[in-house]
Amino acid sequence: MKLHARQQGEGTHLISVHGLFGSQENLGAINRQLAEEFTVHGIDVRNHGRSPHSDEMNYALMAGDIIEYMNAQGIEKAHLLGHSMGGKIVMKVALDYPDRIEKLAVMDIAPVKYKVRRHDDVFAGLHAVKLDQLEKRVDADKAISQYVEELAIRSFLLKNLYRNDQGGYSWRMNLQAIHEHYLEILDGQSADGAFAGHTLFLKGGNSDYILPEHREEVLRHFPKASLREIADTGHWLHAEKPDLIARTLKRFFLS
């Protein structure tokens, strides 16, 4: 699959991968700072952003998409950075294609299967938006607000809404495929192997996505992993403290 990407900067290649319902724009603030030292490739993964849609969606396929992108760009090896679902994608790339990876950085996700369905309200809100009847963006926000109270989350989701060529509204993301494959998105790393390269996990101090009980599984797959907790941040740590996150990532990738 030919993925859409935004490329900026010069230097060693660094591939940056967003999370669920997002696009490369969500990591834009830190990508711009990282581009001061690296050639940064902000990726839209399949069924997200401006990348193609597909009825198939799992981590093996999405990891393969990244390698296909690297091959098309003539990139032999690269640093990888991923947030949330994007973190699971880059972990899968590192485990399946370790020779193609320099260093790996993962933001607020562990290589485990998550049993809690955190996004059912989001799906309900998105499905409540009747695109064929929608006349104004504010009406989409009202529909989602019945299920999602937080304005910041609704604003994030509505970045997917755009005017199509017919003058109506469409989702950039493939909502149906994402919903149908949600359990696969919650899944952990199925590979038995390990990535021997240096790996950094960044944890939001107020987030419960990375927990002490995940340590054994992290080290089984990533024996050179280190963890840094970013105080006073949640799951969206890169949006809450972009300058600190960018400095931390620069030090890690440059060391």
Report the catalytic residues. Answer: 84, 235
C-alpha triplet 38, 21, 15: angle, nearest 5°: 15
Q: What is the DSSP letter of 131?
A: G
Measured from the Cβ of residue 215, the count of other Cβ atoms closer than 10 Å reads: 13
Size of the chain, expressed as the number of residues it contains: 255
The phi and psi torsions of 225 (rounded to 5 degrees) equal -75, 145
Task: Check: CB of residue 98 under 8 Å from CB of residue 196.
Answer: yes
Q: Which residues of 56-93 are buried (b: 16+ CB within 10 A; e: fewer)?
A: ebebebbbbbbeebbeeeebeebbbbbbbbbbbbbbbb
Distance CA 17, CA 85 (A): 8
Grouping H, G, I as helix, E, B as strand and the rest as coil, residue 52 is coil
